[in-house]
Amino acid sequence: MWKLVCHISLLELVNKNLKNVLGKDGKIELTNEKGQNIATLDSSSKLDNDNYVVTLNNDTKVVNYKTSKIVKEGDIIIKEERSITSSRYPISILKDLNKAFLLKKRS
Protein backbone atom coordinates (compact mmCIF):
# COMPACT_ATOMS: atom_id res chain seq x y z
CA MET A 1 0.00 0.00 0.00
CA TRP A 2 1.29 3.44 -0.91
CA LYS A 3 1.07 6.34 1.47
CA LEU A 4 1.66 10.07 1.05
CA VAL A 5 1.72 12.48 4.01
CA CYS A 6 1.52 16.23 3.37
CA HIS A 7 1.32 19.33 5.49
CA ILE A 8 0.37 22.90 4.68
CA SER A 9 3.48 25.05 4.83
CA LEU A 10 2.23 28.42 3.54
CA LEU A 11 -1.07 30.28 3.10
CA GLU A 12 -1.53 33.37 0.96
CA LEU A 13 -4.73 35.42 0.97
CA VAL A 14 -5.30 38.16 -1.59
CA ASN A 15 -5.84 41.41 0.35
CA LYS A 16 -7.95 43.18 -2.29
CA ASN A 17 -10.50 40.38 -2.45
CA LEU A 18 -10.59 40.02 1.33
CA LYS A 19 -11.37 43.72 1.83
CA ASN A 20 -14.03 43.68 -0.91
CA VAL A 21 -15.90 40.75 0.66
CA LEU A 22 -15.40 41.44 4.38
CA GLY A 23 -15.07 45.23 4.40
CA LYS A 24 -12.36 47.32 6.02
CA ASP A 25 -13.21 46.06 9.53
CA GLY A 26 -13.53 42.41 8.47
CA LYS A 27 -11.32 39.58 9.66
CA ILE A 28 -10.63 35.93 9.00
CA GLU A 29 -9.57 33.47 11.69
CA LEU A 30 -7.44 30.44 10.83
CA THR A 31 -7.46 27.37 13.06
CA ASN A 32 -5.80 23.96 12.75
CA GLU A 33 -7.42 20.52 12.93
CA LYS A 34 -7.43 20.71 16.76
CA GLY A 35 -9.27 24.06 16.73
CA GLN A 36 -6.16 25.95 17.87
CA ASN A 37 -5.73 29.46 16.51
CA ILE A 38 -3.06 29.72 13.81
CA ALA A 39 -3.60 33.35 12.87
CA THR A 40 -6.18 36.12 12.71
CA LEU A 41 -5.99 38.39 9.67
CA ASP A 42 -7.49 41.87 9.71
CA SER A 43 -6.66 45.38 8.53
CA SER A 44 -3.78 45.63 11.06
CA SER A 45 -2.06 42.44 9.80
CA LYS A 46 1.22 42.72 7.92
CA LEU A 47 1.06 42.54 4.12
CA ASP A 48 3.63 40.96 1.80
CA ASN A 49 3.31 42.22 -1.81
CA ASP A 50 -0.27 43.34 -1.01
CA ASN A 51 -1.23 39.85 0.24
CA TYR A 52 -1.50 38.28 3.65
CA VAL A 53 1.06 35.48 3.99
CA VAL A 54 1.04 32.97 6.86
CA THR A 55 3.89 30.48 7.31
CA LEU A 56 2.82 27.35 9.16
CA ASN A 57 4.52 24.68 11.27
CA ASN A 58 5.37 21.33 9.74
CA ASP A 59 2.52 19.57 11.55
CA THR A 60 -0.43 21.55 10.10
CA LYS A 61 -2.49 19.23 7.91
CA VAL A 62 -5.84 21.06 8.00
CA VAL A 63 -6.73 24.76 8.10
CA ASN A 64 -10.24 25.94 8.96
CA TYR A 65 -11.31 29.43 7.89
CA LYS A 66 -13.88 31.49 9.80
CA THR A 67 -14.79 34.94 8.52
CA SER A 68 -16.51 37.89 10.10
CA LYS A 69 -19.80 39.04 8.57
CA ILE A 70 -19.68 39.22 4.78
CA VAL A 71 -20.54 42.72 3.53
CA LYS A 72 -20.43 42.05 -0.21
CA GLU A 73 -20.71 38.91 -2.32
CA GLY A 74 -17.45 37.90 -3.93
CA ASP A 75 -14.50 35.54 -3.89
CA ILE A 76 -11.81 35.27 -1.23
CA ILE A 77 -8.74 33.87 -2.96
CA ILE A 78 -6.67 31.56 -0.77
CA LYS A 79 -3.55 29.79 -1.99
CA GLU A 80 -2.29 26.83 0.04
CA GLU A 81 1.24 25.55 -0.44
CA ARG A 82 1.68 21.94 0.65
CA SER A 83 4.85 20.00 1.31
CA ILE A 84 5.33 16.26 1.33
CA THR A 85 6.61 15.13 4.72
CA SER A 86 6.84 11.42 3.98
CA SER A 87 6.00 9.10 1.13
CA ARG A 88 5.88 5.44 0.37
CA TYR A 89 5.18 6.15 -3.30
CA PRO A 90 7.88 5.28 -5.80
CA ILE A 91 9.69 8.38 -7.08
CA SER A 92 8.43 7.73 -10.64
CA ILE A 93 4.80 8.04 -9.50
CA LEU A 94 5.54 11.25 -7.58
CA LYS A 95 7.13 12.73 -10.72
CA ASP A 96 4.04 11.79 -12.77
CA LEU A 97 1.73 13.35 -10.17
CA ASN A 98 3.80 16.53 -10.21
CA LYS A 99 3.64 16.72 -14.01
CA ALA A 100 -0.15 16.21 -13.97
CA PHE A 101 -0.53 18.92 -11.32
CA LEU A 102 1.60 21.41 -13.28
CA LEU A 103 -0.36 20.73 -16.47
CA LYS A 104 -3.66 21.23 -14.64
CA LYS A 105 -2.40 24.43 -13.01
CA ARG A 106 -1.48 25.94 -16.40
CA SER A 107 -4.93 25.33 -17.90
Give 65-81 pLDDT, tens digit per residue. Answer: 999 999 999 998 898 88
* Closest to 77 (Cα-Cα) out of 28, 15, 31: 15
Q: Which helix (H) or strand (E) holds 79?
A: strand 78-87
pTM (2 decimals)?
0.71
Q: Which position has the higher pLDDT, 3 or 79?
A: 79
Q: Which position has the higher pLDDT, 90 or 106?
A: 90
Instruction: Provide the residue type at 98 as one letter.
Output: N
pLDDT at 14: 87
Q: Which position has the higher pLDDT, 45 or 4?
A: 45
